Structure 1
Amino acid sequence: MGDISETLNKKNNTKCENSQKLTENKDEELTPNILKTYANLTHQSFLNASDLKVQPISGAGDNSYGLVLQVICNAKSGESSETPFSSILKISPKNPARRAHMNVFDFYTREVFLYEKVFEEFHVLAEERNSINGESAESALFDIVPKMFSYSLENHDEFIIFEDLLKIGYIQNARSKPPTYDLVLKTFQTLAKFHAMSFILQAKKPKVFTELVSQMADNLFTENIADVSVEFGKTYIKRTRDMLVEEAEPKTYDNTADMIAVLDKVEQNFKKVGISCVQGNACAPYAVICHGDFWNNNILYKLDSNQCAESAKFVDFQIARYAAPVLDLIHYTFTCTEKTFRDAHLNELLDIYYKCLAKHICLFALDPTKIYPEQIFKQQLCRYGIFGLCMAAFSIPFFISNSNELVDLDEVCEAISVISAPEDSTSQNANNSVPSSSKDSANKSEENNEKNRALINDYYLLTPRSEPIFKRRMTGVVCDILKYDMADYVLNL
């Protein structure tokens, strides 16, 4: 670990700088290409960033794949009296190590693909249906995502410009704040409509649907997923197990031994479990285009006069995937809600989700009992529920951390790039003609894993403040994995 010690030792000096960078360097983020795009959108000439009002929307821990800014274009003095053009600008990170580790270009390409190809098909289906049924029929408009105004996929200058939902009354539930019942209800109902559109497209235009999903190989859980990412998830699975083992009498749960068994199996098979859950073809035709990164920050709500959610819209489709629809439900439920909430409401909300999905399918004169039988829905919850534990291990440490407790992602990725770099070529065989033995490869793999574990331990996210919260949230997830019969797959590995 000596080669990375200097990089790792930066941690304490830079840990709190993320939110400062958002404001101090915001003008530097508006590249000439971005300024030109805004000029074209508004038919005005922006010579530099001072012509625009820019403020950060995302803070530390809110978005791993770049900056999210609100950009307001005010008409120049004397030129126009039009209402200022307000938008949300998502800009890719520029740090080379972070870009490489997080496959930034692929993520931006995936989101643009969703808007230009998938959502366009959803819009066409809705318009066709409404034109046939007339205005008196219940509307089936696809209106649950913001508009995309423009984008660039130029390497190292990727950005997307969206409609500003904040300006029309939508708000975000805070990253660390568990959602209230009305928010979860509206989330489940809106997600049901989103998933229903995939089933409808598959039924109405099967060739189009097949072509679309063929271009949506998972971009998170793959055979090439970085070892350090796997070790990160395993670290927090192990910490949860250790917390249960260390717990003094009386035990919080009656089935602690069963919970530990689940955690042991997930730790041993973390990569395999994750990859097995995201295979849409394995559960076709009962698979849909999922959001893929479904949590608090990627859902915005408009509230009524009683401050209850009356509508919801989804953002950030960079990890959208073709998979069982329950993956989005499970991801959101186990990473964003508390066990006490699930005990009181989960069965009811799952029933509401399915009924809403079935109703939306019926609007298109299709039979939901054939397209997505309720029995299949329940079977998928049992089979893929374990995905929620994997995502909880990834997510909850971030969700419960304050901004000043989070690490600098650029710094972490630079450290990862150091430990992932190949050995000096002088240490290798001159003509590379002698293959490594299986034993040598295994030793090298374990050596790399040890470095990854050391790196993760150095950037350990939990603090004396957040550890009790982590324990409550994670042990609650494991308990519910057993409660809702979601453990069989992993226990049989």
Structure 2
Amino acid sequence: MPEYNEDTLPVKNLKSILQQSFENEIEIDKAEWKYLTDPGENFGSLIFAIDVTLICDSKTKLLHVVAKLPPPSSYLLKLFNSPCTFSKELAFYKELTPEFLQLQRENGILDPEFSWLGPHYIGGRMSLNDNETFDNQASIILENLNSSGYKMADRLIGLNKSQTEFAVKQLAKLHAIAIAMREKKPKLFMKVVKPVLVSVANETAEQCVMDMIEKSIDDLSKINEAKPYMNIVNKSIEITGKTEIKKTKSDEMWCTLVHNDFWVNNMMFKFNESNDVIDMKIVDFQLCAYDFGVKDLIFFLISSPMNEIIDDIFDDMVDLYYNSFIDTLDIFKINITEYKKDHLITLLEKCAPSKFAQCLMMAQVIKSQPGSAPDIESIDNKESFLQIGGGKAHYDKLLQILNVFKKRGWLINSSK
């Protein structure tokens, strides 16, 4: 790690951000930093691990933090609509999280910070001048979960059953807490939560998504076992891409804060000495939106568990999600009789076909070969970005996605 030097530290004027978490004046004595993610593991931001030695009230304190900064190229800035996504994620930690924690306190949950779903927020800004005008020094500083014993699972292997179960429970809890906020504090929800859940789509992002989908379809068409189904694949994506899911009044109540990118790289697990999962944190809320929670669930259950267990555990995980969702709503004294399981299943079946394109598209990211993806600094156009993917793990995943959607009747003209 390079030692502290204000000129070489990736986050300029780091002290001003850290100061947001301290009442008394602090000074930085030392700071060492390194890149936290390898090439191909993250494209939406630069992520650094920084170990900071502070002096506060004549006492020395060591902080292990993660710093998120915007991606370095103009193409990626446009692709991820970074001014919007950074503003959203900053608001999630700075404004939404405290309200979610307060809601839990008011409903008898002691020390909700300890059991909260995300990392501890330390500070952030939209620009070096600390105003609302976005620049390349927009920063979000969070606790370094690695230093607290949390680990990311291997995306190429996928999650085992116990990890999948824990993730499903945490996802259900996130969705239920947001619904509880809407039901218990509707004015606050509309004022604080709903504005953060705006779409981040722009022309560059929409075109890139189309390019990634097209590339995925082309990759799938090269697999012999998939060739007989390519007409159905193309038709399914064409139809679902043009068809908006019709919402009934009873459907609307299932809308919540969806993560929108809930897969293995956006969660970190903590294990005990027996290697059992004892906690999990969700990270990367820059794409969060207001939509059906089952969309997160579908994408997660197809993208993230080990390939060999997905078929066997899928329905059980839906049951687990529902039970965890209801248990959380019950804590907040929400009328759970209105949230019936058969309605959840109906909604899941209605939403599933629309997730086919995302599952195919993201397979090239999730199963890309380590070392094959370009590093974030070299991505300056869609051609360089679309170098991701390829290899056996990617092609195996594409075929599995096709088989899952075909088997479950989620393709146009397919049968269960």
Point out the structure with the larger helix share.
Answer: 1
Q: Of 181, 195, 200, which aligns to 1:219?
A: 200
Matches within 5 A, 1:123-134: 123-130=101-108
Q: Which residue of 1 aligns with 2:368?
A: 401
- The alpha-carbon distance between structure 1 residues 471 and 280, as it changes in their structure 2 partners (threshold 3 A), is farther
Find the residue that maps to 2:32 and give its secondary structure: strand
- The alpha-carbon distance between structure 1 residues 323 and 281, as it changes in their structure 2 partners (threshold 3 A), is farther
Q: What amino acid sits opposite 2:80 in the alignment?
A: M
Which runs of 5 or more residues in structure 1 are unaligned? 1-21, 417-454
CA contact (8 A) 1:230 1:271 kept: no
Q: Which residue of 1 aligns with 2:324?
A: 356
Is 1:164 paired with 2:144?
A: yes
- The alpha-carbon distance between structure 1 residues 165 and 26, as it changes in their structure 2 partners (threshold 3 A), is farther
Taking the aligned partners of 1:59 and 1:26, their CA distance within structure 2 comes to 24
Give the deviation of 1:237 after TM superposition: 2.0
Q: Which residue of 2 aligns with 1:431?
A: none
Is 1:320 paired with 2:288?
A: yes
CA contact (8 A) 1:126 1:142 kept: no
Q: Which residue of 2 aligns with 1:473?
A: 397
CA contact (8 A) 2:17 2:141 kept: no
Give the deviation of 1:318 after TM superposition: 0.3
Give the deviation of 1:409 after TM superposition: 4.2
Point out the structure with the larger strand share.
Answer: 2
Q: What amino acid sits opposite 2:234 in the alignment?
A: D
Q: Of 46, 51, 70, which aligns to 1:92?
A: 70
C-alpha root-mean-square deviation of aligned residues, in Å? 3.4
Is 1:82 paired with 2:55?
A: no
Q: What amino acid sits opposite 2:83 in the alignment?
A: F
Taking the aligned partners of 1:139 and 1:151, their CA distance within structure 2 comes to 22
Matches within 5 A, 1:297-316: 297-316=265-284
- The alpha-carbon distance between structure 1 residues 403 and 340, as it changes in their structure 2 partners (threshold 3 A), is closer
Taking the aligned partners of 1:262 and 1:113, their CA distance within structure 2 comes to 41
Taking the aligned partners of 1:32 and 1:407, their CA distance within structure 2 comes to 26
Find the residue that maps to 1:313 and give its secondary structure: strand
Structure (1 or 2) with the larger CA radius of gyration: 1
TM-score for the superposition, normalised by structure 2: 0.85
Taking the aligned partners of 1:33 and 1:393, their CA distance within structure 2 comes to 41
Deviations 1:405-453 (A, max 9, x none): 11244544x334xxxxxxxxxxxxxxxxxxxxxxxxxxxxxxxxxxxxx
Q: Which residue of 1 aligns with 2:126?
A: 153
CA contact (8 A) 2:257 2:288 kept: yes
Give the deviation of 1:477 after TM superposition: 1.2
Q: Which residue of 1 aligns with 2:233?
A: 263
Q: Which residue of 2 aligns with 1:381?
A: 348
Is 1:415 paired with 2:381?
A: yes
Is 1:184 paired with 2:164?
A: yes
Matched residues, number: 403
Taking the aligned partners of 2:239 and 2:375, their CA distance within structure 1 comes to 29
Is 1:199 paired with 2:123?
A: no
Taking the aligned partners of 1:308 and 1:272, their CA distance within structure 2 comes to 44
Deviations 1:240-264 (A, max 9, x none): 1342xxx2xxx5x8xx74x434311
Give the deviation of 1:186 after TM superposition: 0.4
TM-score for the superposition, normalised by structure 1: 0.73
Find the residue that maps to 1:302 and give its secondary structure: strand
Give the deviation of 1:88 after TM superposition: 1.3
Q: Percent identity?
A: 16
Q: Of 128, 142, 153, which aligns to 1:173?
A: 153
Taking the aligned partners of 2:404 and 2:214, their CA distance within structure 1 comes to 19
Q: Which residue of 2 aligns with 1:286?
A: 254
Taking the aligned partners of 1:278 and 1:460, their CA distance within structure 2 comes to 36
Q: Of 323, 330, 333, which aligns to 1:365?
A: 333
Give the deviation of 1:41 after TM superposition: 5.2
Taking the aligned partners of 2:313 and 2:93, their CA distance within structure 1 comes to 33
- The alpha-carbon distance between structure 1 residues 209 and 483, as it changes in their structure 2 partners (threshold 3 A), is farther
Give the deviation of 1:215 after TM superposition: 4.6
Deviations 1:434-482 (A, max 9, x none): xxxxxxxxxxxxxxxxxxxxx48x954344xx1x322321121122113
Which runs of 5 or more residues in structure 2 are unaligned? 128-133
CA contact (8 A) 2:156 2:366 kept: yes
- The alpha-carbon distance between structure 1 residues 240 and 39, as it changes in their structure 2 partners (threshold 3 A), is same
- The alpha-carbon distance between structure 1 residues 32 and 268, as it changes in their structure 2 partners (threshold 3 A), is same
